[in-house]
A and B are shown apart, each in its own frame.
Chain A
Amino acid sequence: MNALDPHTLTGAYAAHALDPEERDAFERHLGHCPSCAQETAEFAATLARLGAAETVTPPPELKARVLAALPGVRQEAPQLARTARPRARPARRAPRFALAACLALALGAGAVAVQQHREAERARDRAAALARQQQTVAALLTAPDARTATAATAGGGTGTVVWSAARDQAGFLATGLPAPGPGRTYQLWYDDAGTMRPAGLLPTGSGTLLLTGALDGAAGVGVTLEPAGGSAHPSGAPVLLLPFS
């Protein structure tokens, strides 16, 4: 620690640029210096703007891994807030397993939503169909060459496409897309070099679908909003475009 006025260390402290010894000394000083504490808080908020400017779209597997690890991480009680902190070392999981878990979570949510809005019989049929879809799409993830691509939509929510060239199949997972609205449905399309080939309907904003038909060299998958029952050709601009790349 050199003889510098500790008041000038607020910037380096907030940017985590002090060595541990200086940091500890500065933290002791902070307790007696309300203006330093105020400035440090303002700097943390300022740096958060620099950090938030770097925002990326996290891969869906990350959420699945984090949520799966929660039950194994003990939360600190409020009165223990000042004790030393052991490092959380969550168990690693294979990405594909994690994605399968993510899929299961999303599908679970979709199934629950369906149950809440249903008439008994239709919902039971639908849940059974969803379960079959889930199994098939989850099975697709076990293909050695399975790959995924994810994108967000303008209206919120994300779509993930899972595909395997070896199995010549693709599946689609929707998470939190806006509800299609009465008399409307999401429709999936294979992109055959610019020509859209119908690949199935998804009437809800969260759920999964094994795409109808083989990949057959398609360049990607598109999603549009269509009248219930679907269309032969896309009737509007796609909500999502996911290339197989």
Chain B
Amino acid sequence: MSRVVSLAPPRRPGPDLGELLSRVVRGDQEAFAALYDAVAGPVLGLVRRVVRDAAQSEEVAQEVLLEVWRTAARYRAERGEVLPWVLTIAHRRAVDRVRSAQAAADRDRRAAAASQAPAFDEVVEQVEGRLEREQVRRCLRTLTELQRESLTLAYYRGYSYPEVAQVLGAPLGTVKTRMRDALIRMRDCLGVAA
């Protein structure tokens, strides 16, 4: 018995996040706890992908979840689903964190500690999660290299587009349009409708 076994749960209709969020607006902490259960894994996963450092990622994820509590009234159902709204907040805060000079110093200081981080954070190896990841990877493979790198450097690494342009040795304007082209292809490949 050397590893944690996590079998795949059947895909169940999740809670109605819009309904939960409307209760959160009214200060319902129980609804927030249920919303937390639905979004905390994606939030922490995305933040970790961008921020890397485990301790900082948890701090940022906590800020994100409290921002959801604080600003729930800003959510507009006609502009999209709840999870994209939450993950937009998560991504913005993760990017803010990696772009602050202070974070750079912290990251260096904590680099050693990170290697001893506890193993709480293994990626959820559920079939459902794997399928989602596979689908995203499959669609990323349909992009041109410049599209893919423009998108993933910006989204998963938190690079600004001038940083992306510098890393790729491409003109600024080209990088901006490639990011948009990449997202149009990903949108169509993943069958996303807003």
Contacts and interface: CB of A to CB of B under 8 A. Distances in A.
Interface of A: 2, 4, 8-12, 14-19, 37-38, 41-59, 62-63, 65-67, 69-70, 73-78, 80-81, 85, 87-88, 90, 147, 149-156, 191, 194, 219-220, 222, 238, 240-243, 245
Contact of A243 (B4, B92, B160, B186): B4
A41 B84 CA distance: 9
B66 A47 contact: no
A70 B67 CA distance: 10
Contact of A49 (B5, B45, B190): B190
Query: Which 8 residue pairs are nearest across A and B when measured between Cβ atoms?
Result: A11-B180, A154-B7, A11-B179, A54-B45, A48-B84, A41-B194, A51-B46, A42-B194
Nearest to B159: A17
30 contacts: A2-B172, A10-B180, A15-B154, A15-B179, A16-B91, A17-B164, A19-B162, A38-B194, A45-B80, A47-B91, A48-B87, A49-B192, A50-B155, A50-B156, A51-B45, A51-B46, A51-B91, A52-B46, A58-B61, A58-B121, A62-B44, A62-B61, A75-B25, A75-B69, A76-B74, A151-B5, A152-B6, A152-B126, A154-B7, A191-B1
Contacts of A238: 5
Given A15-B155, A16-B158, A81-B73, A48 B83 contact: yes
Interface footprint category on B: 35 or more
Interface of B: 1-9, 25, 27, 29, 32-33, 36-37, 40-46, 48-49, 58, 61-63, 65-67, 69-74, 79-81, 83-85, 87-88, 90-92, 95, 118-124, 126, 129, 132-133, 135-137, 151, 154-156, 158-162, 164, 172-173, 175-177, 179-184, 186-187, 190, 192-194
Contacts of B81: 45, 48
Contacts of A37: 79
Contact of A67 (B25, B36, B159, B162): B36
Contacts of A43: 183, 187
Contact of A88 (B48, B67, B88, B151): B67
Given A59-B121, A66-B65, A14 B48 contact: no
Contacts of B79: 37, 41
B180 A54 contact: no
Contacts of B42: 48, 51-52, 54-55
A52 B133 CA distance: 8
Contacts of A63: 33, 36-37, 40
A63 B154 CA distance: 29
Contacts of A191: 1
